[in-house]
Each structure stands twice: as structure tokens, then as C-alpha cells.
Structure 1
Amino acid sequence: MAFVLVVDDDPGIVRLVRSYLEQAGFRVASAFDGATARRLIRQERPDLVILDLMLPDEDGFDIARSLRSDPATATLPIIMLTARIDDTDRIVGLELGADDYIVKPFNPREVVARVKAVLRRVSGGTVRNRLEQGSLVLDLDGHQAWLGGNELELTPTEFALLSLFMRYPGHAFTRAELLEQGLGYAATGLERTIDSHIKNLRKKLEYDPAAPVIETVYGIGYRLRTV
């Protein structure tokens, strides 16, 4: 699962981009100024940075320039994000070594697509969509799952439910939400079928029945226990 850092001083944009990236299976961190971005890049080592050019404490061009001049971050993929529409800014950004350039306003799905394209390009096409939660790993492209290094034999329904849980760890889903968002259909009277799928999924996930990976939230439904 690739790790993306989103740097923008607009909380609304950060939330939007972060939400779409997480739904696509990426791990995401955020920063609202250059100082925080530099610290996170140094400490967390993201796989890609989405960098706004107009930050409150420094220009995004300066951050990109310093990243490219540092051997530790010289090859870090950068997608520049800005409201500037001047071609000169875009050319300067690309000359500084940006891998792509997105102008606001934008479609968040396009941002996800460009992130995937840049990561494929810099990795020679080997990047796969993965979700991880502790020792639990899902390969969304290969439709495979592992727990503690052991491959799990999941049905398509179990895989779909588990991928939804892992995109939103700790979130409590109702049975109706699991039907609609996890399985792609909504039908009254079928909510209890989710219980059977969860029961089977738990058998494949639990090391200790007293501490289930999928927890029951009484009066609501189910959630993935964060580890």
C-alpha cells in the first residue's frame, strides 16, 4: 500500500483528496504548511507528495527545489497542486522535477488516477493496490488476502466486505451499509444475510475468539478493530 502525503493549507481540499485516496487503498498523511510537510517527509518517508504551491509559510517551488537537491529525497515523486493557471508556473514546476501538475479546481478521481499513474511510472509498473491493517494485508488487484503471512481463502463476498472494513478501520457499519457499499446492492429484508458472511469471515480472521478482528457494535452493526 503506497503512502501519500497531501500538502495544502485548505482543510477542505485536504479532506477531499485524502478521502478519495484512502478509498482507493492508499495510506495518507496530511500537512497544512511547509514546515510540517518537511518534517513528515523526513520522518515518515512517503512514496509520493501532492504539493500545493501556495502555502502560508513558504512557496511550494522552494520545497520542491530542496527535495530534489537532497540525495535522500531526490527521486521522491511530486505532484504539484495549485490554483495558478499560468503556463510559466507549470513549466517552472516541471523543470524543478515535478512528476505531474494539477490545476484547481479539479476532479478528485483525476487526482487518484494521476497518483496511480505516477507511481506506476516511477516503479516500472509494479505498484499494486494494497490495504494493510496490522498483520492483515489485502491485494486489491490480485484479489488475495494474508493474515500473519498466511494466505486466506476468501469468497468474493468476504473479500468485498473485508476490503470495505479495511478502508475505514474503526468505522461502525450498519448491515444495510455493508450490503450497499460492500456488496453493491440494497434490498430490504436481506440485511441479516450479512451476519452469516461475518460469521464465516471471523472464522478465517480470528487468532483469539475473545478479541475478534471484526467486532459487533450492538445496536448498529460491525466494525474492524484497529490494531
Structure 2
Amino acid sequence: MSGYKRMRRQHQKQLIALENRLKAEMDEHRLRLQKELETQANNTYIELEKLAKRHVAQTDKEMKTVAAEERRIQQQIVAQQKKELTTFLENQKKEYRLCKDKIKEEMNEDPCTAKEEKQERLSRHKETMQRSQAEEEAHLLAQQRLVYDRSCRALKRRSVIRRHEFEQEQLREELNKKRMQKEMEHALMIRQDESTQDLERRQLQMLQKLRVDLMRLQHQTELENQEEYNNRRKRELHRKHTLEKRQQPETSRS
């Protein structure tokens, strides 16, 4: 029976060794899965950082483009209004000279009018013309200022709308990126869970197979030991009976 006990102890050692090996394999498997998750999380962080930096650069470029466009349009408006004002002032000068020449001509045709009266009349006309032209110039400048202010407000509104649309597009891109990363993370976790279940099933099958094999070997050994014991008992009984038969005649002869 000492051999049988040694076999039982050896079988127990085999089971413990397999369990330890499978535990180490499972620990290594779980560590590898954890590293996969950490790697994906790190990649996700890096990608989102890159996206954020790209959005900052895009926003800065977009704002510079919008500001440059605003300045260009404002400069165009100012240049156009300056041109209009120059033309307006030139026309005023022409009109003033024409009116002045006409008045002089009319006064020259009237020799009865005294020189002082002619000079006074010319001065009044000059003052009236200058006042009228100043009012017209002020009106034109006011209209130009109104047009310029309205244009600037329209540009600002368009810039705000454009920036809002731009930010919305960036937000959609960021949300889509995060959604895709969540889906990838979910798919990875499902795949890891399946691989863990497969490993657990395989390890369980290995343990069950070893237990069955050891039980079969143990049972076979028990049968062999029992058979050996039975054969030994038979031999002992046979020797005993033989010895008894040999001893019977000697007893009867005595």
C-alpha cells in the first residue's frame, strides 16, 4: 500500500502543478488584456489630443482668415467711399466755379450795379454755395458712415455665424471620434471576455482530463493491487492446503 500512497501523493502533486501552471497562464492572460486596454486608452488620449490641437490650429487659421476677409471688405468699402467723396468734391468745385462764373457774367451784363453791391452779392452767393455744399458733404459722409457701420455689423454677424458653424462641425467631429473609440473599446472588451472564457474552458477541460486520467490510473492500480492480493491469497491458501495434506498421512501413521 506504500506504493499506492506514493502514487496518490504524486497524483496530488501533478494536480497542484497543473493548477499553478494554469493560474500563472491566466494571470499572464489577464495582464496582457489589461495592457491592451491601457494601450488603447493611451492611444485614445493621444488621438483626442491630436484632434484638439488640430482644432485649435484650424480655429486660429479660420479666425485669421475671417479677420483678413473683414479687413479686405472694410478696406474696399473705405476705398469706394473715398472715391465717391473725391468725385463728389470735384463735382462741387466744378459746380461752384460754374455758378461763380455765371454770376460774374450776369453782373458784368448789368453796368448799373455798383461794384460794392456786386462784391456783396458774390460773397453771399459764395457763402450760400459753401454752406449748401458743406451740408451735402456732411450728408454724404453720414450716409457713408451709416453704410460702413451696417456693413461692419453684417460682417460681424456673418463671422459669428461662420464661427458657430465651424465650432459645431468640430464638435461633431470630436463626438464622432469619441463614439468610434467607445465602440472600439467595447469591441475589445467583448473580444477579451470571449478569449478569457475560451481560456477558462480549455483550462477546465485540461484539469478534468487530468483528474479523469489520474482516477482511471488510480482505479486501475487499485484493481491490479486487488488482483495481486487475491492471487497472493490464493497461493497462500494453496500452499496451506498442500502442507495440510502432506501432514495428514504423517499424523495417521503415528
Q: Given the two structures, how large is their TM-score scaled by the length of structure 1?
A: 0.18
Q: Which has the higher strand share?
A: 1
Structure with more relative contact order (C-alpha pairs < 8 Å, separation 6 or more): 2
Q: Which has the higher helix share?
A: 2
Q: Given the two structures, how large is their TM-score scaled by the length of structure 2?
A: 0.17
